Structure 1
Amino acid sequence: AYSPTIVSRDTTNESSCLAIRRIDDKVYLGTLAGLKVLELNTGATYFIGKENEIDKVGHHRLMVDNNKNLWIFTSSGLFKYDTRSKRFEKFTTSDGIYDLSDDAVNMFAYDKFLYIGYRMAVTYFDPMQVNVNTVRANPIITELQVNGKTISQPLSLFERTWLNLNYDENEIIVNYTAPDFTNADKITFQYQLHGYDKNWINGGMRRRITYNNLPPGEYIFKLKTANSSGLWSEKIAMLHFKIATPFWKTWWFRSILVLAVFLLAYILYRSRLKQIKKIYEVRSSISRSLHDEVGATLSSINIYSDVARTKTNDPSIKQLVDKVYDASANAMENMSDIVWYVNPKNDLLENLLVRMREYALPLLEAKGINVLFDAGENTEDLKTTMEQRHNLYLIFKEGINNALKYAQAKNISIVLAKEGNLVTMEIKDDGKGFDVANHYSGNGITNMQFRAKAIRGLLHINAAPNTGTTITLRFPIT
């Protein structure tokens, strides 16, 4: 039995069933949403005739003839639906229908005729005498416009060959028709632009289609048509065209661009490598020159002053010669440090750690101070700049010298470690300490702070009388 809840549960319009007819195992329902089918065997429901503009079926506008064809009256036309072939055929006023008005129209059957009753007139016909149009109409593409300009070449050329267009020729208008000498006004079309449309599109009775801003690619426009009885054409009209890809989007241009980027990167890398090598050579040359020339001169001054002070008994002259000797000795030590900083072979922190040990251990052990020198495993392979090595080493020397002169310590620990992108150096003793506030203005501490800032580091001195001293330096390294 017919159940409205099964048939009409989609929309409000479907719930208004205005006409109903049964043919075999199907029930056809006229609703405000169109013509709906209920399959009694499965309970499935679906609409038919939407592509023919059957969007509403009113009261008394659904009839069945003796051949089990369904007749549907709508404001779009009178439709015959062949339930066996599932084809629609449309009839309009040009076929003798009095009017397609949607006002006060009733359909009814009497004797062998179907009647369409209006307020002031009636149309009747024998449904068994209505012939089906068996002449198929073949589609023809009549005009192609590209960016508003008509293609002058015969379009039949492009049924199998390609029309080549530039990348900016992407506004396409296609005009078409289908000659039919019986019911030309009932011809309907379907089209598909292969490469753009996924499915066939119902074009209705329109004879023109527009595509805007088509991307580059290959396209085939396909067109088919149905006559007044819904018979589709055997021929499909086709139009082939290509829209070129702009050169900056082509694979070869992108490949060249990628190669150019890699080539530029390689050139910059080689240039940087050459620059580094040049700097390396300059630093090596400066290091050798300082060692061989300036270092030798200072060494000679030191030796001659040492000899001179043994050959004079004049106290005033000996005092001056002693100053020259001490000054030359200090200059030699400083020169040795500078030569070491400049030499590119010492860029690794490992080399600096060796030099720090060689400086501190003999001095501290000679004073009877126990020394712990600990460098983390992850510090030795770090690369430092010349400025970082120079300032780190001088801060280290100042800290060691202050401990030797003033701390009276028994134990000193020197610890270097890497924490993230920071290098930390800590010099800690158990000496007598000092009051940081009263000694902070000294040149030694001020110089250490200055050198820490030069390498973007932070220097912290923690000290108090009788509690020892801890010097902590942290600076970034990349």
Structure 2
Amino acid sequence: DTSYYSEVPPTIQIKKFSVNRKDTKIKNSIKLKYFQNNVKFSFSGISFINEKEIKYKYILEGYDKKWSPFVKETNVAYNNLRNGKYTFKVLSYNKQGIPAKEPASVFFIILPPFWRTWWFISGASIIITGFLYLFYKLNLKAKIKQEKFIYEYDTSLKFKKEIIPEKDPSFRNVDIASIYLPSSRVGGNFYGYTWVNAKEKIMAIYIGDIEESGLHSIKDLVFLTTLLKVVAKSNGDSNEVLSKFNNILYRKDEKTINVNLSFSIFDITNRIISISNAGLGRPIMKRDDNVFLLNLPGPGLPIGVRKSLSYKNLKIELKKNDFILFFTNGLIKSRNKMNNEYGYERLEKIIQGYNIKKVTSKEIIEIISEDFNNFCSNVEQKEDVTLIALKLL
């Protein structure tokens, strides 16, 4: 009786499961790597009535939204699947449209790449958050440091204006000019003029630097320059002033401020200058066509290094067109990008190249300053540079 057999449902089985064209054993749970994302299923149904008339419906849960229409093909492929959980189900139907009692199924998981796993994302998030926090802290620290630097720089310049002369003195038959080139840190350079005896036209000329930079050094300079002016009025010669100044500043059991200083007493009326040196570069003089370094006697040590130093002096009777250049150590010790020092020789050549009779003191120091800036271009200037030029007319 054919009607009996027509009511018997067909069976269905999945015969083959291949991954990236390689057969894979069908298990209860299959785990695939992220690149094993091309799968193919082969299945077949068995019916007591004409097997050629069997039809199939299938679905890949996790990918398909609904069951497929009836098909007779027994192979289904899916390519480029994303990571996730999938269940492939297939049903067979006999000629009368009676389905199999249960679909055949295969469950499998395509794992994500490691960079998409929760542990990697969590770890990366923690690391990135840590880096962002570190960047924030470093940026905040740099900002605070920069603001502090700007504050100290601006404040230092403000204090510097109080200890640096607004203009150079002007006398008949004497041409004096100065220039101050601050470094990126506003160092400890200072210079100035003060009357030793205004009635007799005897003036002190000083130029120097302390071995510190920043706001603290500027506050020291205010004290030092005030003290130096007081000591300068003691009516001693230049060497005696330096010796007194050293004894006042030297402290055996305390931190001493070391000062490099060139101190001169200039008798304008008699055209005699007395020069003493304490750790500063030797001044350069030009007389007629000769340019030379002044050979200053004495210990030459900075102020405050040793107790009871007896400084010496060099007295020069100046004549018309004599030229003397005083400068701080930052000028000759500064280096260019080739790591070469500016040095005495370069400075002497510049002075030698000009006729002192035809140029002013201001013009000479401006020429030197321009040459110095060109020499040190693209290099951070770590030391202040100060020059004082003195010329007899």
Higher RCO (C-alpha under 8 Å, 6+ residues apart): 2
TM-score by length of 2: 0.41
TM-score by length of 1: 0.34
Q: Which has the higher helix share?
A: 1
Rg larger in 1 or in 2? Answer: 1
